Amino acid sequence: MKTHEHLAGRRGFLKGLLAAGAAGVLGSGPGSLLRPHPAEAAPFDPSAYEVFRNACPRNCYDTCSIKTYVRDGVVQFVEGAPESTFTNGGLCVKGYTYPRRIYSPDRIKYPMLQEGRGSGNWRRISWDEAMSRIADKILEIKKRDGNLLGLGLTKYSGNFGITNYGVEGMMSSLGYTTRFVGTPCWPAGIDAQNYDLGDMWCNDPEDLVKARYIIVWGANPAWCSMHSMKYLYAARERGARILVIDPIFTQTAAKADEFWQVRPGTDGALALGMARHLLDAGLVDRDFVQNAAVGYEDFAAYLKTNVTVEWAAKTSGIPADAIRAATEEFAAAKPATVWIGYGMQRHTNGGSMVRAIDAFVAMSGNIGVEGGGARYGHLQTWGFNYHAMIQKQPAGSVGVRGASGPKGEFDFAGGEAATYSDRTLNINKTAQEILDARDPELRMLWIACKNPFAQDFDRNKLEKAFAKLEMVVSVEQFFTETVRHSDIVLPVTTLFEEWTINASYWHYWLSLNEQAIKPMHEAKSNIEIAALLSRAMNAREPGSCTFPQEVDGKEWMIKECNKGIYDLFGISSWEELRKGPAKARLASSASWHDRTFKTPSGKYEFSSALCARNGFTALPEYVEGRRPDAPFRLMTPHIQFGLHSQFVNLDWMEAYYPEPFVYIHPASARKKGIADGDMVRVFNRIGEVRVRARLSGNVAEDCVVMYEAWFRKLNYNVQNVVDDCAADMGAMKTGAPGVAIHDQFVDIAPADGGRA
Amino acid sequence: MSTRYAFLMDMDKCIGCRGCGMACKNFNQLAPDMVWRQVYPLDERIYPHRDRAFLSLACNHCDDPACLAACPAGSYTKRPDGIVVHHQETCIGCTNCIRSCPYGAPRFNKVEKHAEKCSLCHERLDAGLTPACVQACPTGALTLIDLDTFDNANAVQYPAGYPAMPRLNPSTRFILPRMPRVLRG
Amino acid sequence: MTYEFPLVFFTVLTQLGIGLALAAAWKTCFGGAAVPRRLWLAALVATLAGLVASLFHLGAPLRAVTALNGLGHSWLSREGLVFGLFVLLLLLAALRPGRAVTALPAALAGLAALVVQGFTYAPVSLPAVSNGFPLLLFALTALTLGTAFGAETPGPQRLTICLLLVVLLIVPCLWASGSAVMQETAALWRQSAGFWAGLVLTAAALVLSLVRRTAAPAQGVLLFCGALLVRVTFFSATVHTATHLGMPY
């Protein structure tokens, strides 16, 4: 399929050799076979390509700007856009697999119908037939129930390109439906930062270089934000000290000056202990806490009454003298910053821990400071029109009475019609919510930009839940486990086959995503699929779907842009992005630089009445974590080779990441009779995973680690043993609380006699 | 002024991301299971934390390359700038280079039945660009140096975990990884 | 693990050919009886069979002739050349058997081929065999096979078998006290069923020779099979430095 166009020099050499070969096969003249002349391959010539602008739309801090080199209508290779100082010319191990994703023989090529869900008995159908079956089913549901609440959508972060919110738009254009809302990713921390600061708004990550002390707390940028590492290194070269706090000795920890292996779920205690020491040592920034904050005295009183450094040390496992020393260094360094990771808030007490860290940073006077800050994430650059997303329900549509809450952190639509709204179900309890849905039951599920069987919790329960569904439609690129549990699969375009525009929740760059090649096979973009469905719906029942029946991807991308975006990024039109990504014009690299907070008080709130109203403590008090019900804590964080269930399935990636492991401490393995490389069972009350063990002192003795991934050839799924226990916060801003992904407990035993 | 191109692999900066290797596959359009650059984790006897420090290795473009010496077909040449080039078109697939290279740089393409290896992206170098792996490295752990002018007292030629082959005189240079102070709960 | 069967058959068969040629030359120069032509022909056939086997090792056998390009630096190229010469001289010796003037050059070419093979299969990347061991192994293989099929009396055969057994037993012990890669090679050889089976067959040939007090083709067959098995171990269980990257050497 692909041609080695840019290696033409080598090919040219071959031709020359063959021609000369005729002159004398064994002769000694130039070009003879016996004395091949050194190949002088022609220099690489970038001008021989059409170069397109693309952006990696995955749920990733780095959201890289891509330059795509196309020749003869084929993507030859990709590289990072050099114009973005963040991407800096290089993609990551995942991004460089994109040419393979486009041309992978494993791609879903045309709509297919599975005769008997899970049977593997797939047959090719036309787009017409697929849409007929789907439209018929939707109309049948509407007729049966008198509404469309039996039709559900689950979609999340598989593709964050803005036009892909057209999937939500498609649902709205059909009527009031059921939406899985919330996010398994970061909601507890979002709410926590909203209580403290009024919004989630982090400094420009590129200003990390200005920091003199950096705590990376529960984040692993070496794997999950590789492009941020250069700023950590640069800061250190300028004299900064880097402390990594994590239950796992991560790759980032290995690059730090100091690593604290905190007991999982006790980060809040540790942060409060550090806050207490700021108080004891007289290191509190009086100006900030008195002039820019409210509730400080209450918090100080709480610390004095309830918190000691010794208690924090005992709870977290980090020695008291180390806590004191680091606190003093942090306070002395100006500026100092904490990078609060998403892993740290995936606990039943996750939001409270983020609030405790926020409070520590605030007391040290590092909020609103360039190079400082309690960095978590931001949505400052996401002010698009959401033209694709905001569609009108057909006249007479019936739904749930009254307004719904937010449908996720990216729900910028707001102002829902008050008479009726969609039914919202918790995305973090997908299985239970499907099982529990009544009046009407959930009958049909549309899945896009998401792989529930790889991401949703309690996989065994999910199997039961899917069995209840009358029709499942997946929009996919590969035959995932979710597709196996679907009736119809629709092939969706890769980012190279569609127009869209992308922003990041970490850095401040904006990237255009041009259509670089024609869609492969019969793949269509999400908005094209919506238009096709609209055509099928309206052909059957005119007016049953308001989604336009013709869409132009480029036009729809342009419709997402507005003056606010252009002004923020200092561009006059989207076309300027064809020259490369643009960075937001920031008054300061620091968030909250003018100390105008978006809290009810307009100040930093050590004590949040809103938080108390929502059922939590007003102060960032210590909350104990989930109690174990099995010998080992299980953590299932991200590995650098995949983004959730994407990338690891590609054969290119298998060259570097062929097989998953469960990582277990050598001492624990010894007690369990497990040797390095043994096949083991990791199990708990909801399921089990069979996987090879890798002994590693990087994990604590009472902890095991498995990295989430989908391998095309392996029956490996960490969600078999991860339940849907909720995190504390998240409902306020994302519609549902987060999920305690890292408060999971398992046992482990040799399987199949161990050696396998 | 002569030039001898080489890789400088800073293990202290390397995060083992494999971006270098995948960038190589991406630019050089390698077969799905083929890699020209591999990243090897250091054994715990060398670096005490498992899977946390790495050697990223492709071809070392040796001064006296074992592959070139072993190749019966004359499919290897050495450019004046030190780059050892393998010419797939004349390769007869005898695998003698693969047997002979102590660093595992040449690998066998099972479909096309020839050896192949890192070219140091000489087509890119000749166009004034850096090799694909160097361009990709997000931390600056992999850089291109000219050994004739390179002067870094911290660089070593034979780190632990990398066989010393003085006769071949491999060109790659390494900076050793440091370790953080570790406090465990 | 790759077994490199083409190389196994190539080296053992060509060493059989060399052994036979040496035996024939010895008889021609020092033996009383006339040297039968079939001994030279057998050497020729074995060598040609080995060369054919070697083609299966190539990705592009049709371009095998270009393997001569690297004569200036490649022992593998030189191996090709010297075997080409050897085959020609064997042909001459077979055409004019019983004459020292044809026998001696053939024998010398055979010896040269052994030496070249000894260098070819001793690359720096295989520390356990990057020494005189391949040459010793190949020479003793040639001599045991040559004496088994070509000698009149069992004496030389017993001597060479004993030497071969001693070398095969001692060398892995030497590796065990060497570098990490050598130690692992020693361990793999000792775990290799083929290695021990090869030793047993070789020892059986010795026993047979002691019992029957004569050199017989049966012993030659045992030795040949033994040599193949040991050679499989040589090519598959000798550890390459590249497999240890990241580990102590």
Q: Chain A, 42-81: which have a CB under 8 Å from a chain B CB?
A: 42-46, 76-80
Q: For position C36, what pLDDT does the model report?
A: 82
ipTM exceeds 0.90, yes or no:
yes
Whether residue A70 contacts residue A99, with contact meaning beta carbons closer than 8 Å, is answered with no
Residues C6 and C116 grouped into a single domain? yes
pTM of the predicted protein model? 0.95
How far away is chain A from the Cα of B24, in angstroms, using its nearest Cα?
9
Determine the Cα–Cα distance for residues C236 and C247; give it in Å rounded to an integer: 20
pLDDT of residue A19: 40
pLDDT class of C35 with cuts at 50, 70, 90: confident
Measure the CA–CA gap between A174 and A544, rounded to whole angstroms. Answer: 6
Contact C69 A26 (CB under 8 A): no
DSSP 8-state secondary structure symbol assigned to residue B43: P
**Chain A contact present for B126, CB below 8 A:** yes
Residues β-bridged to residue A745: A633
CB contact under 8 A, C241 and B54: no
**pLDDT tens digit sequence for C138-158:** 999 999 999 998 887 888 889
Residue where one domain finishes, among candidates C83, C103, C120 = C120
Q: State the Cα–Cα distance between residues B158 and B168, nearest whole angstrom.
A: 12
User: Which residue of C67, C126, C242 is in closest CB contact with B73?
Assistant: C67
Type of residue found at A500: T
- What CATH number belongs to A133-184+387-503+523-576? 3.40.50.740
Q: Does C73 touch chain A (CB under 8 A)?
A: no
CA distance A493 to A486: 19
Residue A746 amino acid letter: V
Residues in C closer than 8 angstroms to B93, CB to CB, are 58-60
> B93 CB near a chain C CB, below 8 Å?
yes
Q: Which residues of C touch A36 (CB under 8 A)?
A: 69
pLDDT score, position A15: 41
Residues of C with CB below 8 A from A27's CB? none
Domain topology for A202-376? Dimethylsulfoxide Reductase; domain 2 (3.40.228)
Check residues C1 and A182 and name the one with the higher pLDDT: A182
Residues C9 and C116 in one domain: yes
Dihedral angle at the C-alpha atoms of B135, B140, B146, B150, nearest 10 degrees? 170
Check A33 against C65: CB less than 8 A apart: yes
Q: What is the mean pLDDT of chain C?
A: 94
Residue C66 to residue A34, Cβ atoms within 8 A: yes
Q: How far apart are CA A648 and CA A375, in angstroms?
A: 29
CA-wise closest residue to B20 among C244, A656, A100, A86: A656
Nearest to A295 by CA among A62, A579, A22, A610: A610
For A47, nearest residue in chain B (alpha carbons): B127
Q: Domain residues for B19?
A: 5-175
pLDDT tens digits, B95-133: 999 999 999 999 999 999 999 999 999 999 999 999 999
Q: What does residue A55 show for φ and ψ, rounded to 5 degrees?
A: -145, 140
What confidence score (pLDDT) does residue A4 get? Answer: 47
Interface probe with C: pick from A18, A33, A37, A676, most Cβ of C within 10 Å: A33
Number of domains making up chain C: 2
**Tell me: the pLDDT tens digits for C96-107?**
988 999 999 999
Burial class (CB in 10 A: 0-12, 13-18, 19+), A335: buried
Residues C99 and C178 in one domain: no
pLDDT value, residue A487: 98
Across the interface, which of C63, C76, C241 has its CB nearest the CB of B102? C241
| Separation CA A419–CA A399 (nearest Å) | 9
**Four-residue CA torsion sign, A18, A21, A25, A26:** negative
B90 contacts chain A (CB < 8 A):
yes
Cβ within 8 Å of residue C175, ≥6 positions away: C128, C182, C183, C185, C186, C189
CB B94 within 8 A of CB B51: no
Residue C249: inside a domain, yes or no? no
Flag whether C248 is in a domain.
Answer: no
Architecture (CATH level 2) of domain A632-750: Beta Barrel (2.40)
Q: How far apart are CA A460 and CA A720, in angstroms?
A: 6
CA distances from A194 to A238, A510, A610 (A): 32, 24, 10
Cα–chain center distance at A247: 21
Task: Inspect the interface and report whether the beta carbons of C74 and B71 lie closer than 8 Å.
Answer: yes
C68 touches chain A (CB under 8 A): yes
> Which of B:95-114 have CB within 8 Å of C?
95-96, 99-104, 108, 112-114
Mean pLDDT, consecutive 10-residue stretches, chain A (756 aa), reads 44 39 40 50 94 97 98 98 98 98 98 97 98 98 97 96 97 98 97 98 98 98 98 98 98 98 98 98 98 98 98 98 98 97 97 98 98 98 96 95 84 69 97 97 98 96 98 98 98 98 98 98 98 98 98 98 98 97 98 98 98 98 97 98 97 98 98 97 98 98 98 96 98 97 98 66
Q: In the structure encoding, which two tokens stand for residue A352, read together?
A: 């409270």
Q: How many helices (H) and strands (E) does chain A have?
A: 25, 29
A676 to chain C: which residues are within 8 Å by CB?
Answer: none
Q: How many domains does chain B contain in total?
A: 1
Query: Can you give the pLDDT at residue C50?
Result: 98
Extents of the domains making up chain A: 133-184+387-503+523-576, 202-376, 632-750
pLDDT exceeds 50 at position C192: yes
Domain holding C234, by residue range, is 128-243
DSSP state of A697: T
User: Residue C216's pLDDT is what?
Assistant: 75
Residue A241 neighbours by CB under 8 Å, 6+ apart: A212, A213, A214, A257, A258, A329, A333
Among the candidates C94, C120, C146, a domain finishes at C120
Put simply, the answer to whether B66 touches C123 (Cβ < 8 Å) is: yes
Q: Which two tokens stand for residue C182?
A: 């050598």
Q: How confident is the model at residue C212 (pLDDT cuts 50, 70, 90)?
A: confident
pLDDT at A754: 58
- Is the Cβ of B4 closer than 8 Å to some Cβ of chain A? no
- Do C2 and C104 sit in the same domain of this protein? yes
Helix (H, G, I), strand (E, B) or coil at A222: helix
Give A-chain residues touching B140 at CB under 8 angstroms.
230, 233
- Using the 3D structure, point to which of C120, C153, C168 is the last residue of a domain: C120
Distance in Å from the first CA to the final CA of chain A: 38
Which chain B positions have a beta carbon within 8 Å of A701's beta carbon?
none
pLDDT for the residue numbered A39: 53
| Chain B CB within 8 Å of residue A85 CB | no
Please tell me which of the candidates C57, C58, C66 has its beta carbon nearest to residue B90. C66
CATH number at residue B63: 3.30.70.20
Task: Kindly list the residues from chain C whose CB atom is less than 8 angstroms away from the CB atom of residue B57.
Answer: 245
C102 and C137 share a domain? Answer: no
Q: Please give the average per-residue pLDDT across C22-35, as a whole number.
A: 85
